[in-house]
Structure 1
Amino acid sequence: MAKTILIVDDSASLRQAVSIALKREGYEVMEACDGKDGLSKLTGQKVHLIISDVNMPNMDGLTMVSQIKQMPAYKFTPVIMLTTEAGEEMKAKGKAAGAKAWVVKPFKPEQMITAVSKLVAA
Structure 2
Amino acid sequence: MAKTIMVVDDSASLRQVVGIALKSAGYEICEASDGRDALSKLNGQKVHLVVSDVNMPNMDGITFVKELRKLPAYKFTPVIMLTTENQEAKKAEGQAAGAKAWMVKPFKPEQMLMAVSKLCLP
Q: How many angstroms apart in 1 are the aligned matches of 2:121 and 2:106? A: 26
Q: Report how many aligned residue pairs link the two structures.
A: 122
Gaps of 5+ in 2: none
The residue that corresponds to 1:25 in the other structure is 25
Deviation of 1:121 (Å): 4.3
The structure richer in helix per residue is 2
Q: How many angstroms apart in 2 are the aligned matches of 1:107 and 1:45? A: 28
1:5 lines up with 2:9 in the alignment: no
Q: How many angstroms apart in 1 are the aligned matches of 2:121 and 2:91? A: 24
Gaps of 5+ in 1: none
After superposition, give the CA deviation of every residue in 1:64-84 in whole Å (9 maximum; x if it has no partner): 000000000000000000000
Structure 2 length-normalised TM: 0.98
Moved segments of 4+, more than 6 Å: none
Q: How many angstroms apart in 2 are the aligned matches of 1:45 and 1:39? A: 11
**1:15-94 aligned within 5 A:** 15-94=15-94
Deviation of 1:120 (Å): 1.1
The residue that corresponds to 1:113 in the other structure is 113
